[in-house]
């Protein structure tokens, strides 16, 4: 294949190669994700998910305490607080100022939260937020202030120190894979060195591997060697060589890898949605990441995308505000993430992967007449994984205290979240953060947000045990009647049983579906012989049992 034919076949802006039908781009050293990866001193991985277009945080997390104000500001798109499609109360154990209702299509998100695998940071943005899609994304990618224009990534300028000579000196035996990879056909500022894309696009791994073996440096068109474009062609030539090396390696780990057989990634939104929103765009990206990691891929940071959040009109259906484009997107995010976490756990690598979402901005608190929302300010960020510090950081948005433009005020700067991930997940040193990260006041431990905990820590167990619990019965020992109390933080099918020491069922005290809340059950033991019995509960994730002593 001749060079000019190769160049003619390249897309205008991005040339990612493909694995498993998913476009992927390996990165040069000046981009956001590669510099982030360079901070890592362990085998941990970060998966970033860009909610492309500006997510509506208020319909994602409905502020329960201010529901009336919320409803009055967006009556034509508000999620209902009653009925079969009402919002899901995320956590009724929280202070009222933090209680939120999930969109009804986010059941997977709720399940992960109950498993202590979700951290939510409310009201995230930055000072003087820019509401241009392109500029907004660049700010998040580069880690800049609103008035700064940076050409490289936000996790510092320390790549040459941590990985000397990257990318020319790589791959190596210790780091055989790209430090960071973007999935999808669109390529952000993070994937350019200057203005030159760095990879190639084909239909499958075998075609990719064969194509770049046909491209030789000697094919450089003679008429271009002494022109302005010589640098660009040299750069492309270098990246072809890197692509050649990475292609075989990534194909190898792809073929070696697998997904958990019992995990089914969702492919379609099961209800009504506009054309273009039915297919789950995120699920195959996450499935591919899990497979690559299971095959031994050492890439440190992945960037996936879920597009379609710029809902200026028909964010919801006119006849049902719980359906429509935004509902489908939230289902895709929630269900794909639940499958991804289940897959990672099944593969035994869930303690290595941290996932975070971000969007260039939020949406306006007030809806428009077109059943949509316009470009707004603050929005929530979500962090997923077995090693997150579960719960909610920050209060629900203050709908009665908007800024001068009628938008939500931000409580946290996005760099506080990213710095916490860099420090506590990748274990970057204080010296690296303080000397290399251009975050001004956000690069220190007092300003960063800690969204990471020790995997399988006591704190994670405490989070679950305060939300799902079986209490000691009273009185105990019992002569005639005892009261058994329990609390469930999610709707569930509940079985409460009393069994003897031989495991034989004595009484079925509860066997029904119950909504979240605290319950107490009367247990009469007049007909039972004295001795030790066990009462046990099965309710969703809750499996617990306690002893009851019957006396006469």
Q: Please report the pLDDT score of residue 188 as a whole number.
A: 52
For the chain, give the mean pLDDT: 82
**pLDDT band, very low/low/confident/very high, at 208 (cuts 50, 70, 90):** very low
- 8 Å CB contact between 141 and 32: yes
> Residue 81 and residue 104: Cα distance in Å, rounded?
10
DSSP H stretches of helix in 313-412: 325-347
> Residue 242 and residue 250: Cα distance in Å, rounded?
12
| Segment among 127-141, 325-339, 469-483, 526-540 with least mean pLDDT | 127-141
Q: Does 356 score more than 70 pLDDT?
A: yes
> Residue 208 and residue 210: Cα distance in Å, rounded?
5
CA angle 443, 449, 451 (to 5 degrees): 130
Q: Please report the pLDDT score of residue 194 as a whole number.
A: 39
Read off the pTM: 0.85
Q: Please report the pLDDT score of residue 159 as a whole number.
A: 40
Q: Which of 161, 166, 141, 159 is nearest to 151 (CA)?
A: 141
| Segment among 5-9, 326-330, 463-467 with least mean pLDDT | 5-9
Residue 281 phi/psi, 5-degree rounding, is -70, -30
**pLDDT band, very low/low/confident/very high, at 21 (cuts 50, 70, 90):** confident
Residue % of the chain over a pLDDT of 70 = 74
- 8 Å CB contact between 420 and 451: yes
Q: Please report the pLDDT score of residue 211 as a whole number.
A: 43
Return the C-alpha torsion angle 189, 195, 198, 201, nearest 10. 80
> Residue 489 and residue 88: Cα distance in Å, rounded?
11
> Residue 131 and residue 128: Cα distance in Å, rounded?
9
> Which stretch of DSSP H or E encloses residue 531?
strand 531-539
Between 209 and 150, the more confident residue is 150
> Residue 369 and residue 386: Cα distance in Å, rounded?
42
CA–CA distances in Å: residue 472 to residues 113, 465, 485, 494, 520:
26, 14, 7, 18, 11
Here the tokens at position 14 are: 């991005």
Between 21 and 445, the more confident residue is 21
- Strands of 517-524's sheet in order across: 469-470, 481-488, 517-524
Overall average pLDDT of the 108-112 stretch: 97
Strand partners, 493: 513
> Residue 469 and residue 91: Cα distance in Å, rounded?
14
Please report how many Cα atoms fall inside a 13 Å half-sphere around the Cα of residue 446, on the Cβ side.
2
Contacts of 240 by beta carbon, 8 Å cutoff, 6+ apart = 200, 212, 215
Tokens 């190769």 belong to residue: 6
Domains of the chain, CATH where assigned: 18-190+268-462 (3.40.720), 468-550 (2.60.40.1930)
> Residue 24 and residue 180: Cα distance in Å, rounded?
10
Sign of CA dihedral 87, 90, 93, 94: negative
Contacts of 551 by beta carbon, 8 Å cutoff, 6+ apart = 477, 478, 479, 530
Here the tokens at position 268 are: 């379609």
Residue 12 burial class via C-beta count within 10 angstroms: exposed 0-12, middle 13-18, buried 19 and up: exposed
Tens-digit pLDDT profile for residues 229-262 = 454 445 455 555 666 667 778 888 999 999 999 9
Angle subtended by helix axes 107-114 and 325-347, to nearest 10: 40
Q: Please report the pLDDT score of residue 182 as a whole number.
A: 82
Q: What DSSP assignment string belongs to 436-477? A: H---GGGSSTTTS---B--TT-HHHHHHHHTTSEEPPPBSSS
Q: Does 213 score more than 60 pLDDT?
A: no
- State the first-to-last Cα distance of the chain, in angstroms, to the nearest integer: 92
Q: Which of 193, 214, 186 is nearest to 12 (CA)?
A: 186
Q: Please report the pLDDT score of residue 109 as a whole number.
A: 98
Between 22 and 96, the more confident residue is 96
Highest mean pLDDT among 126-130, 220-224, 343-347, 434-438: 343-347
Q: Are strands 492-500 and 531-539 parallel, antiparallel or unpaired?
A: antiparallel
Q: What DSSP assignment string belongs to 93-134? A: TS-GGG-EEE-TT-HHHHHHHHTT-EEEEEEEE-TT----HH
Tens-digit pLDDT profile for residues 145-178 = 777 766 655 433 434 445 566 666 777 788 888 7
- 8 Å CB contact between 391 and 463: yes
> In 3-state terms, what secondary structure has residue 209?
helix
Between 294 and 2, the more confident residue is 294
CA angle 100, 356, 279 (to 5 degrees): 85
- Strands of 100-102's sheet in order across: 61-63, 100-102, 88-89
> Residue 182 and residue 185: Cα distance in Å, rounded?
9
Here the tokens at position 272 are: 């009504």
Strand partners, 521: 484
Q: Please report the pLDDT score of residue 428 as a whole number.
A: 77
**pLDDT band, very low/low/confident/very high, at 77 (cuts 50, 70, 90):** very high
Q: Please report the pLDDT score of residue 217 as a whole number.
A: 43
Tens-digit pLDDT profile for residues 25-70 = 766 555 656 666 766 668 899 999 999 999 999 999 999 999 999 9
Q: Please report the pLDDT score of residue 358 as a whole number.
A: 95
> Residue 275 and residue 283: Cα distance in Å, rounded?
18
Overall average pLDDT of the 96-121 stretch: 96
Here the tokens at position 145 are: 């202030």
Overall average pLDDT of the 438-447 stretch: 61
Residue 239 CA to chain centroid, in angstroms?
A: 30
Supply the DSSP symbol for 324.
Answer: S
Q: How many residues does the chain have?
A: 552
Overall average pLDDT of the 386-409 stretch: 94
Tens-digit pLDDT profile for residues 265-296 = 999 999 999 999 999 999 999 999 999 999 99
**pLDDT band, very low/low/confident/very high, at 461 (cuts 50, 70, 90):** confident
């Amino acid at each position: 294949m001749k060079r000019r034919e190769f160049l003619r076949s390249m897309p205008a802006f991005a040339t990612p190669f493909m694995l498993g039908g998913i476009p992927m781009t390996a990165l040069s050293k000046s981009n956001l994700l590669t510099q982030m990866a360079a901070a890592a001193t362990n085998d941990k991985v970060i998966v970033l998910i860009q909610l492309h277009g500006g997510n509506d945080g208020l319909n994602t997390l409905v502020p329960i305490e201010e529901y009336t104000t919320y409803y009055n500001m967006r009556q034509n798109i508000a999620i209902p607080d009653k009925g079969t499609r009402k919002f899901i109360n995320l956590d009724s154990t929280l202070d009222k100022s933090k209680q939120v209702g999930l969109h009804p299509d986010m059941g997977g998100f709720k399940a992960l939260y109950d498993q202590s695998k979700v951290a939510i940071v409310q009201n995230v943005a930055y000072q003087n937020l820019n509401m241009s899609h392109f500029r907004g994304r660049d700010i998040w990618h580069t880690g800049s202030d609103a008035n700064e224009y940076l050409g490289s990534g936000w996790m510092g300028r320390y790549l040459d120190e941590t990985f000397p000579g990257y990318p020319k000196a790589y791959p190596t035996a210790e780091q055989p894979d790209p430090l960071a990879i973007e999935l999808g056909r669109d390529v952000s500022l993070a994937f350019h060195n200057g203005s030159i894309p760095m990879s190639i696009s084909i239909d499958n791994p075998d075609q990719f591997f064969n194509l770049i073996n046909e491209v030789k440096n000697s094919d450089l068109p003679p008429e271009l060697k002494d022109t302005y474009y010589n640098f660009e062609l040299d750069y492309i030539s270098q990246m072809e060589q890197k692509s050649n090396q990475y292609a075989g390696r990534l194909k190898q780990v792809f073929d070696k890898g697998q997904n958990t057989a019992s995990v089914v990634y969702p492919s379609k939104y099961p209800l009504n949605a506009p054309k273009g929103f039915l297919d789950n765009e995120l699920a195959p990206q996450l499935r591919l990441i899990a497979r690559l990691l299971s095959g031994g891929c050492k890439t440190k940071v992945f960037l996936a995308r879920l597009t379609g959040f710029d809902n200026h009109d028909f964010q919801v259906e006119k006849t049902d505000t719980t359906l429509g484009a935004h509902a489908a997107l939230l289902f895709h995010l929630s269900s794909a993430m639940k499958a991804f976490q289940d897959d990672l756990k099944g593969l035994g690598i869930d303690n290595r992967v941290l996932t975070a979402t971000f969007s260039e901005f939020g949406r306006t608190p007030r809806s428009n007449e077109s059943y949509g929302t316009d470009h707004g300010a603050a929005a929530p960020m979500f962090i997923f994984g077995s090693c997150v510090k579960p719960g909610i950081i920050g209060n629900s948005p203050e709908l009665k205290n908007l800024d001068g433009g009628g938008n939500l005020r931000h409580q946290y700067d996005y760099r506080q979240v990213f710095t916490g991930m860099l420090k506590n997940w990748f274990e970057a040193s204080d010296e690296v953060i303080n000397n290399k990260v251009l975050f001004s006041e956000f690069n220190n431990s007092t300003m960063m947000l800690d969204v990471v905990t020790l995997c399988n820590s006591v704190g994670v167990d405490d989070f679950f045990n305060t939300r799902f619990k079986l209490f000691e019965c009273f009185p105990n020992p019992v002569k005639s009647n005892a009261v058994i109390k329990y609390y469930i933080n999610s709707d569930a099918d509940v079985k409460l049983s009393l069994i003897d020491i031989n495991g034989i069922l004595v009484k079925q005290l509860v066997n029904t579906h119950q909504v979240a809340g605290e319950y107490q059950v009367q247990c009469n033991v007049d007909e039972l012989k004295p001795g030790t019995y066990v009462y046990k509960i099965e309710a969703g994730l809750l499996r617990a049992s306690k002893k009851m002593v019957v006396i006469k």
